[in-house]
Amino acid sequence: MTAKAMKMNWLGYFVAFLCILNPASGRSQDMARRFTNQDVIEMVRLGLSDDVIIAKIRSVGSQDALKFDTSVDGLKALKAAKVSDQVIKVMINPAPAPVSAPAGGASGRDPNLPPAEVGVYWEDAERFIPIEGQALSRAKVGGRAGSLFTYGVRGQHWDACIDGATSRNRIKDRHPRFYLYVADGTSASDFVLIRVTQKKNRREFQIGSFGGMRAGKSGVKQSMEVPFKFEHVAIRTFKITLDSDLSAGEYAFFMATGQQAMMTEGRISADSGGTVAGRIYDFSVAD
C-alpha cells in the first residue's frame, strides 16, 4: 500500500471516529443540562424563595433541558417535599404569561389582581368574577308582633330589604376568596359580610334595633356576620379570606354610607318603612 493510500485510509478512520464521538458528547452535554424535579426539591430544602426557584427554571432557556415529571406521582412527590403550588405551576408551564399592552395607554396592572374598578370580585381559578353591587335604600320594621305581645318588653328592629329571593351572583366555591377594590378613603374594615334571610320575594338583614329594655342602636346583627380576614395587597385593593367554609345560602358584603333617623326617643314613627343608605354586593352559595 502506498503512503498516499495509507494516509487516505487513516483520515477515513479518523472521520468515522469523530462521527461516533460527537453525538455521544452532545448527548452527555444534554444530560448535564437537564433540570429535574430533584433539582427543584434541593432548592426548596436550601430555603430558597419561590421567586428564586422560578427565575432559575425560566433561566434554563431550552425547553428540552427541563425534564420535569408532572404526572400524578410526580406531583405527589413534589408536595411531599413542600414545593409550593406557584413553583409547581411554573414546572408544568415554564413559559411566562404574555404581557398585553394596557388599553388606552393606561399603566399596566398586576394580572394577579382584579381590575382597578371599585367593586367586589370573586377569584375563580385565574379569573376575577365581579359581584354586581347595588345601592341599598329601603328598610322595614321587624319584630312588631313580639313587641305587642310582650307589651314592649321585646324590642323591634329595622331590616334592610333586597329585591328578589335569590341573588343573580352565583358562587360555586364553599371557601371562596374575594378581592375588594375600594373607593379612595375607604378600607376593607368598612365592610361587613353577612348572611341574609330569604323571604318569598326579597332578602333581609337587620341594620338597627330599638324599644324593649335596651336603648336603640344601629348596626348589623352580630349573629349574622361572617368573620373574615383582609390583607392590603395593592393601592385600594384588599384580599379577603374567610375563617371557615360557607354553607349554602344568601350572603352580601355591605358598607353603610349613612342612615336616616328612623326613631325618636325610642318610639317608632307612624310610617312602617324607613331608609338606609349603603352599598351592597350580594351573592348566593349553591348547594
Domain boundaries, given as residue ranges, for the chain: 11-92, 119-285
Q: Where are the beta strands (DSSP E) in 103-213?
A: 119-124, 127-131, 133-136, 139-142, 156-163, 170-171, 177-181, 192-195, 197-198, 202-210
Residue 33: pLDDT band (50, 70, 90) is low
DSSP state of 103: G
The three cell numbers locating residue 259:
342612615
- Per-residue pLDDT of 189-219, as tens digits, reads 999 999 999 988 889 888 766 544 444 455 6
- Per-residue pLDDT of 67-84, as tens digits, reads 889 899 999 999 999 999
pLDDT of residue 285 exceeding 90 = yes
Q: Which residue has the higher pLDDT, 100 or 71?
A: 71
Report the percentage of the chain scoring pLDDT > 90: 34
pLDDT of residue 160 exceeding 80 = yes
Cβ–Cβ under 8 Å, residues 280 and 167: no
Residue 218 pLDDT: 53
- For the segment 120-149, the average pLDDT, to the nearest whole number, is 73
Among 48-52, 74-78, 248-252, name the one with the lowest average pLDDT: 48-52
pTM above 0.85, yes or no: no
Alpha-carbon distance of 234 to 249, in angstroms, equals: 31
Cβ–Cβ under 8 Å, residues 207 and 239: no
Using only C-alpha atoms, what is the Rg of the chain? 32
Helix axes 37-45, 50-59, angle to 10 degrees: 150
The three cell numbers locating residue 83:
414545593
